[in-house]
Amino acid sequence: MNKLTYTRLLNNSLKLYLNDKFLEAYNYLTNNADSVEGNPAQIYNFRYSFACKAGMADTAIALFKEAIIDKGIWYSYEYLISDDDLKSLHQFDDFEKLALICKEREIEDKRNSVPLLKQAAMNNNDAVFRPVIMALHGNEENISITEQYYRKVIDRGYNLLLPQSSQIGFSNAYFWTDLEKGSKELAEHGKTITGELILSGFSAGARISLFSVLKDLIDVKGLIIISPWLPELEDWAPLFKKLKEKNVKVYIICGDKDDDCFDESKNLTRLLKLNRVDHQFKVIKGLDHDYPVDFDIQLETALEFINS
C-alpha cells in the first residue's frame, strides 16, 4: 500500500468535500491527520471548515479555538470573516475575539517575514564541490514539506537547498503569488551558489522557477518541473529561446488526472519542442495534483537526463 502523504491527504479530503460529502471529508481528514508530516494549520483549517459544512458548528468552533489558543496558529482575518464556509462560526461569541487574535498575529508575521534558504546537505569538507539542487515549495507550503520529497538526493552526492518565500498567507504557509518579488528572492539565493545548479519546483514553485530562468535572473543547468501551475505560459512564449541559447534541459512530471496543470504541462512541452529545447515529459497515469508515489525514482531519472 502506498504511504499516505500530507498532499495526498488534503487532495483526497477535498475530493470528498467537492462532492458534498462533508461529513466523510471531516472524518477522513480527522482519522488520518496524525499519520502525515505537514502543516497542522492547514489541517485544522480543513477540519473546522468541513465541520461547518457538515452542520457541526459546535465541533467547528472548538477546533478553531484549539488551533488559535492551544496551538498558536493564525489565519487571514479577511478570509475568516468573508468565507461562506465559516458563516456558522459567526454565531459564537468567541469567534470575533479569536479572529482579532489572528489579525494581530497576521500583522506581526507579515511584518517580520523574510525569504529563507535552508541548506540540507551533509556537513563535510567536500560539500562545497557538490552540484546543487534547489527545490521550491508550492503555494500554501513550506521548507519542511518540500524537504520530505528531496532529502535522498543528499546521499546521491548533491547539495540540497530549500528556499522559502517571504509571502506568508497563514501560519507556516507560504506563497509565490507575487512573481516579481519571488523571482528577486530566488535570484538573490542564486548569487550564493557556485558550480552547477539544477532548479526544481512543485506547482507554483515550478512557475517561479521557470519564470526566473526565462527572465535570466538565475543560471541553471536544468529544470525539473513538477505539476506546474503556469497561468501566464503563452505570455512567456517569446522568452523560450533563452532556454535553447543557454542549453538548459527541462524535465516535466505531471499526472494525467491533474485538472489544474496537465494541459499546461502539454502546452509547456509544445513550446519546448517548438524552440528545440532538450526536454522530456513524464506523464504519471492516475495522478492528480501531487508528487508521484515513486518520486525518488522519478527524480533520479530526471537527474540522469539533465546530467546526460
Residues 126, 62 share a domain: no
Quickly list DSSP for the chain.
-PPPPHHHHHHHHHHHHHTT-HHHHHHHHHHHGGGS-S-HHHHHHHHHHHHHHTT-HHHHHHHHHIIIIIS-----HHHHHH-GGGGGGGGSHHHHHHHHHHHHHHHHHHHH---EEEE-S--SGGGGGS-EEEEE--TTB-HHHHHHHHGGGGGGT-EEEEEE-SEEEETTEEE---HHHHHHHHHHHHTT--S-EEEEEETHHHHHHHHHHHTTSS--SEEEEES---TTHHHHGGGTHHHHHTT-EEEEEEETT-TTTHHHHHHHHHHHHHTT--EEEEEETT--SS--TTHHHHHHHHHHHHH-
Residue 1, domain member (yes or no): no
Q: What is the mean pLDDT of the chain?
A: 95
Q: What is the CB neighbour count within 10 angstroms for residue 300? A: 14
What is the arithmetic mean of pLDDT over 153-177?
95
Q: State pLDDT tens for residues 167-204.
A: 999 999 999 999 999 999 999 999 988 889 999 999 99
CB-based contacts of 79, cutoff 8 Å, min separation 6:
170
Q: What's the gap between Cα 143 and its chain centre? A: 9
| 22 and 139 inside one domain | no
288 and 159 together in one domain = yes
Shared domain for 81 and 38, answered yes or no, is yes
The answer to whether the beta carbons of residues 196 and 218 sit under 8 Å apart is no
Residue 80 lies in a domain: yes
Looking at the structure, do residues 94 and 147 belong to the same domain, yes or no?
no
Give dist(CA 196, CA 291) in Å, integer.
25
- CA 265 to CA 268: how far, in whole Å? 5
Q: Is residue 138 part of a domain?
A: yes
Looking at residue 281, its pLDDT comes to 98
Rounded Cα–Cα distance for residues 177 and 168 (Å): 10
Question: For 268-282, how does the pLDDT look when each residue is reduced to its tens digit (9 = 90+)?
Answer: 999 999 999 999 999
Tens of pLDDT, residue by residue over 243-267, are: 999 999 999 999 999 999 999 999 9
Q: Are residues 94 and 190 in the same domain?
A: no
For 83-87, 126-130, 140-144, which range has the lowest pLDDT when averaged over its residues?
126-130
- Domain harbouring 245, CATH code: 3.40.50.1820
Name the residue type at position 248.
V
Q: Which of 7-11, 92-96, 190-194 has the lowest mean pLDDT?
A: 190-194
pLDDT at 1: 42
- The residue segments making up the domain with residue 102 are 6-112
Structure-block grid coordinates of residue 103: 489579525
Domain co-membership, 170 together with 155:
yes
Q: How many domains does the chain have?
A: 2
